[in-house]
Amino acid sequence: MNPFAVDWDPAAENELARIWLQASDPDSVTQAQAQIDQQLARNPTGNGRFLSEGLWSITVPPLLANYTIDDVRRQVKVTWVRRSA
C-alpha cells in the first residue's frame, strides 16, 4: 500500500515553529513532529482519533495535532497543532 502524503497548513507550521522556539527541549518537538508525519503517512485512521466531520487528532508528546484525510488523493493535511497537556 502506498503511503499518504503529509502536508502541514502554513498556520500549523507557524504554530509548530513558535512551539519549537519556546520549548525547553526543542529536540523533543522535532522528534514528535517527525513521528506524527511517519504515523500519518503510514496509517492516518489507525494512528489517530476521529473527532467529527472529517477531523482527526493525533497526540505524540509534546504535540497534539488535528488533521484531515483525503483518501482518494492519499493526502493528510495537518491543520492545527499545539502543545499536548
Range of the structural domain that residue 70 is part of: 5-83
List, for residues 41-55, the tens digit of each pLDDT value.
Answer: 999 999 999 999 999
> Is the preceding omega at residue 61 within 30 degrees of 0, hence cis?
no
Q: How many domains does the chain have?
A: 1
CATH number of the domain within which 55 lies: 3.30.2310.20
Alpha-carbon distance of 21 to 18, in angstroms, equals 5
Model pTM score? 0.94
The single-letter code of the amino acid at 58 is: I
List, for residues 5-30, the tens digit of each pLDDT value.
Answer: 999 999 999 999 999 999 999 999 99
Q: Measured on CA atoms in the order 76, 51, 42, 28, is the torsion positive or negative?
A: positive
Question: What count of Cα atoms within 13 Å lies in the side-chain half-sphere of residue 74?
Answer: 8
49-52 and 55-60 as β-strands: parallel, antiparallel, unpaired?
antiparallel
